[in-house]
Chains A and B, each alone.
Chain A
Amino acid sequence: EAGVAQSPRYKIIEKRQSVAFWCNPISGHATLYWYQQILGQGPKLLIQFQNNGVVDDSQLPKDRFSAERLKGVDSTLKIQPAKLEDSAVYLCASSKGAVSEQYFGPGTRLTVT
């Protein structure tokens, strides 16, 4: 069974530029999560999807971050414009349901200069 796929693995941009990350969850997993992990901290949930609907986006900085999961499968997370403090690893995870075991992708390491 293929795992959670993410791309790109690394991205370096200048502040005020925009960037997009892509995630393809495990086949059949209805729930998809995006997390932000700053160095030395645990992951923080940004947004949770159930199929193509948003379950929780309370910690998503909506003035600059957006995410979509239009067909209920893969998802994109966008940052526009980026700030220095957005430098982090962005992790995507999926699960069969909302309280099921989560499986994580390898993450995208973003550096904003």
Chain B
Amino acid sequence: KQEVTQIPAALSVPEGENLVLNCSFTDSAIYNLQWFRQDPGKGLTSLLLIQSSQREQTSGRLNASLDKSSGRSTLYIAASQPGDSATYLCAADTGNQFYFGTGTSLTVIP
């Protein structure tokens, strides 16, 4: 069974810092890996989806990378802003099911 782990569970950074969130998965046989943002009391917002054949995807200040062989993905956030404060979740799609990590709670301090 696929297991997805996110470290750290919580992170606080001052505004303007660049930061990296980590996601690891135990089974490299995935179709894609998706990063989401979840604000308190809200649903999930898709940020980036990386297909298994891709190495990275970029959207604005966000860059997600995927290394299937090592079972790792990272989400890089450049020049963090207070509005980036949220929980970030990664999910590995095995084709049969989506497996979510428990998330990293990010606080960007003004």
Q: Which residues of A contact B34 (CB under 8 A)?
A: 101-102
Q: How many residues in B have their beta carbons less than 8 Å from beta carbons of A?
A: 23
Most A-side CB within 10 Å, residue of B34, B89, B100: B100
Q: Is the interface of B mostly helix, strand, loop or mixed?
A: strand
Q: Which residues of B contact A45 (CB under 8 A)?
A: 97-98
Residue from A43, A44, A98 in contact with B44 in the complex, judged by beta carbons closer than 8 Å: A43
How big is chain A's contact interface, by range? 20 to 34
A98 CA / B49 CA spacing, docked (Å):
14
Cβ–Cβ contact B32 & A99, under 8 A: yes
Q: Which residues of B contact A104 (CB under 8 A)?
A: 36, 43-46
A71 CA / B98 CA spacing, docked (Å):
24
Render B23-58 as a binary contact track against A, CB cut-off 8 A, 1 for contact. Answer: 000000001101010000111111001000000000
Q: Which residues of A contact B89 (CB under 8 A)?
A: 42-43
A109 CA / B49 CA spacing, docked (Å):
27
Most A-side CB within 10 Å, residue of B44, B45, B97, B103: B44
B96 at the binding interface (Cβ < 8 Å): yes
B101 at the binding interface (Cβ < 8 Å): yes
Given contacts A41-B102, A101-B34, contact A56 B97 (CB under 8 A): yes
Q: Closest chain A residue to B31 by CB distance? A: A99
A57 CA / B103 CA spacing, docked (Å):
24
Render B89-108 as a binary contact track against A, CB cut-off 8 A, 1 for contact. Answer: 10101011110111100000
| Chain A contacts to B: CB under 8 angstroms | 4, 6, 33, 40-45, 48, 55-56, 91, 93, 98-99, 101-107, 109
Identify 8 residue pairs between A and B in the complex whose beta-carbon atoms are under 8 Å apart, listed by A's number: A42-B4, A101-B34, A101-B49, A102-B91, A104-B36, A104-B44, A104-B46, A106-B43
| Chain B contacts to A: CB under 8 angstroms | 4, 31-32, 34, 36, 41-46, 49, 89, 91, 93, 95-98, 100-103
